[in-house]
Amino acid sequence: MTAIRHLELHVTHGCNLTCESCSHYSNQGHMGHLSLTDADAWMGAWSSRIPLKVFSLLGGEPTIHPELPAFLTLARRHWPDAVIRIVSNGFFLHRHPSLPAAMREAGNVGLYVSIHHPSSEYFKKVQPNLQLAKSWQRDYGINLKVYRSAEMWTRRYLGSGADMQPYRDQRPRESWEHCVARHSPQLFEGRIWKCAPLAYLGMQHAKYGLSEDWSHYLGYQPLAADCDDAELNAFLALEEESYCGMCPASPDSFELPLPFPKARTRSNDA
């Protein structure tokens, strides 16, 4: 069987932050939780075919999901040897007092707290839950990593909502080479997608009605679970393709606004 380095799963699409140009469109007002039944079916369709090195539970913000700890049990049953990661912004860790025990029970689980802004205002708000996570590390021996993800962020698209536009560089090889998520395929609707911007683009189109400029990218076909071994191996080996052209050919850096919805509204009004 062909091993895959990393696979990601949205347990929820909603997020409490509105980080500009979020590659998962979690700043676009999407909602909805993944059911444990669907998650079990999606994982089960692939777990006998693809050994995983790392399986990440994220979103959106995964701690918004009230049943987050139960996803650890599912993931461990389907991939006994994988590293499981919970990738969270940390603000709602206090909603899950059973999470550290579930992490210890599942084994080989890491909590990755992603810092989405460098300001003192941001750290002041998240600090209580950072301290909570450190207490879990001390009392339960969980693997905790706090990292400043915003330092690596670049734009994935231009604008937002119905006005969102793809880049027009049309140099997909360069786009792929500069993509920080080029090894982060998504498990969504039971199929495997090349990346988050492609996986959740249809959801964005359904909500906002994107322009014709997105037609090619909306036609992307993910890998279905009934694929044969040749199709599976070809998918896993593929690097750049025309769909990579939706993202910039060179990193488009920007100064990230505070990602709190009210703070962004005040900033926009000003």
Helices (H) and strands (E) in the chain, counts: 10, 7
Gap between the Cα atoms of 254 and 16, Å rounded: 21
Tell me the three state secondary structure of residue 187.
Answer: strand
Which region holds residue 64: left if phi is over 0, alpha if psi is between -120 and 50, else beta? alpha
Of the pLDDT bands very low, low, confident and very high (cuts 50, 70, 90), residue 4 is: confident
Is the CB of residue 236 less than 8 Å from the CB of residue 2? yes
- 138 sits in which H/E element: helix 120-140
Which two three-digit tokens encode residue 161? 């909502």
Mean pLDDT of 225-243: 94
Gap between the Cα atoms of 133 and 113, Å rounded: 9
- 47 sits in which H/E element: helix 36-47
What percent of the chain stands above pLDDT 90?
Answer: 91
Of the pLDDT bands very low, low, confident and very high (cuts 50, 70, 90), residue 262 is: low
- Least confident range of 16-20, 178-182, 197-201: 178-182
Tell me the three state secondary structure of residue 248.
Answer: coil
Is the CB of residue 83 less than 8 Å from the CB of residue 106? no
**What average pLDDT does the chain have?**
94
Q: Which residues pair with 165 in a beta bridge?
A: 158
Gap between the Cα atoms of 5 and 135, Å rounded: 30
Q: Which phi and psi angles does 88 have, rounded to 5°?
A: -140, 150
User: Could you list the residue range(s) of the whole structural domain that residue 13 is in?
Assistant: 4-269
Rg (CA), the chain: 18
Mean pLDDT of 231-245: 95
| pLDDT score recorded for residue 227 | 95
Q: Which residues pair with 56 in a beta bridge?
A: 8, 85
Number of domains in the chain: 1
CATH number at residue 70: 3.20.20
Gap between the Cα atoms of 20 and 205, Å rounded: 18
Residues 6+ apart with CB under 8 A from 127: none
